[in-house]
Amino acid sequence: MLTINISELLLTILSFFVLMFLLNKLLFKPVISFRAQRQKRVEGCHEQERQAEEKLAETRRELDERRALSLKEAENILVQGRTQAQAEADRTTRQAHAEAESTMRRAEEEARSLREAGGKAIEEKRRQLAQSLADRLCR
């Protein structure tokens, strides 16, 4: 038969509670505390990672905005350059046309004066020849 010894039962119960107290004090609480600290460090790392990603995204947005502004400025400078180049080309073309007209007028005047001078010289030569012919015929 099975008998229950009260003193052994009380000693076993007391030993169990002492063992539970010691395990709780020496093992469970330090392990739980260690896990809690570790969890806080992991969460802190995740928070730092999240902040770093946000900062990276913000920096990328800022760089994209700067790039867009730079592209707009470059486009404006290019448009201004093209406008100035076109204006310079137009001015140069007008100046060349004016110079060409001036040169043409001078050439026409020179041609006219040469024609007149040539006509006078021919007329004088013809008169001299006519005079000379008339002198020969009269002799």
pLDDT 10s digits, 52-78: 999 999 999 999 999 999 999 999 999
Count of CB atoms within 10 A of residue 46's CB?
10
Handedness of CA 114, 117, 123, 124 (dihedral sign): negative
Phi, psi (rounded to 5 degrees) for 133 = -65, -40
pLDDT exceeds cutoff 90 at 125: no
Mean pLDDT of 73-92: 95
pTM of the predicted structure, to 2 decimals = 0.47
Say if residue 121's pLDDT is above 90.
Answer: no
- pLDDT of 40 strictly over 90: yes
| Residue 130 confidence (pLDDT) above 90 | no
Give the pair of three-digit tokens for residue 50.
């999240």
